[in-house]
Amino acid sequence: MKRTIAVPTLVLLLLPVAFLSLPLAAQEGETPMPSAQPQAPAPPANLSPPADAQRTASGLAYKVLEPGTGENHPDGNDLVVVQYTGWNAEDGSVFDSSVARGKPALLPIEALIQGWTEGLQLMTEGAKWRLWIPGNLAYAGIEGRPQGMLVFDVELLEVRRIPDPPEHLTEPAPDATIEESGLAWKVLEPGSGEEHAGPGDKVKVNYIVWTPKGQWIDASYAKGTPATLDVDSLIEGWKLALAEMVPGEKRRLWVPARLAYENDPSKPQGPLIFDLKLIEINPQPEDAAP
């Protein structure tokens, strides 16, 4: 599972190591850019919170520009798809804008600046808000980031839920099967057929991985579609599991470090817990003719 990361450089505060394998905005299935580069919106007339802005106890000020159409509020474990523009309150200059890039951004709530995290959790899907974020809720003291109050127009397009971590994290569930290799697994959903994936195959899968502390660190949910992967490039624990699974089957895997990323200190170390669903073996390209 080799992932790259491409996120708006001035939106995230400190991205945890866990997210180094997360597929984000650059892989967000965007349509080709139009020939004319989009422009960021002009700054709002009020670069300071107006009298009718609402305020939270932390000092965040906000105003509803468009109400939401849904009922889902994101929480700290979710991903959000957003369109936004950020301005410096001091002079109205733009410092970051997904609008100017021509595509929404896909972001993990828990990795954002405090003002964004607080504001987004008050919003629902379809809402567009203007946020006035004081420096202490943004990038105060962080070199190379804009300082002082910042103004954002944020439109929450979609909330992507990440499943809660399983009950058994530090050791396999009592009813799990433990193989000689150290891989442990249990079937969550049965599949059908007799086909198994092996060397040289591609697989279409849905998956999520957690650490023993219950933090999710990678998921096909992040992209919003199943992942198509080369079996040869996968960790040993996945290869062993896929060699036994059939299409449609979903398993929970407890993968020890030696079957995961033990020799790669840049990756999360085991044991790791995966929910893995095998959708298809050697799937046809998305644009293939029927």
Question: How far is residue 194's CA from residue 244's CA, in Å, rounded to a whole number?
Answer: 9
Q: What is the pLDDT of residue 57?
A: 97
> What is the domain class of 177-281 according to CATH?
alpha beta
C-alpha R_g of the chain: 22
| Residue 28 backbone phi and psi in degrees, to 5 | -85, 25
Res 38: pLDDT: 80
Rounded distance between C-alpha atoms, residue 250 and residue 190, angstroms: 7
Q: Which of 150, 27, 152 is nearest to 83 (CA)?
A: 152
Q: What is the pLDDT of residue 287?
A: 45
pLDDT-based confidence at 270, cuts 50/70/90? confident
Domain boundaries, the chain: 17-160, 177-281
- pLDDT tens, residue by residue, 129-143: 999 999 999 999 999
Q: What is the mean pLDDT of the chain?
A: 85
- Global pTM reads 0.67
Which pLDDT value is given to residue 37? 63
Block residue for tokens 């910042």? 150
**Region 92-109: what's the mean pLDDT?**
93
Other beta carbons within 10 Å of 40: 18
Whether residue 8 is preceded by a cis peptide bond, meaning omega within 30 degrees of 0, is no
The CATH architecture to which 17-160 belongs is Roll (3.10)
**Structure confidence by residue, pLDDT tens digits, 4-16:** 333 333 333 323 3
The predicted structure's pLDDT at residue 13: 35
Residue 34: predicted pLDDT:
43
- 108 forms beta bridges with 79
Give the span between the Cα atoms of 245 and 262, in whole angstroms. 24
Give the tens place of pLDDT for each residue, 21-44: 322 233 333 333 344 568 889 999
Range among 115-119, 161-165, 262-266 with highest mean pLDDT value: 115-119
- Domain 17-160 shares a fold with domain 177-281: yes
Asked if the model's pLDDT at residue 289 lies above 80, the reply is no
Q: Which of 189, 184, 283 is nearest to 231 (CA)?
A: 283
Quick one: pLDDT band at residue 157, thresholds 50, 70, 90?
Answer: very high
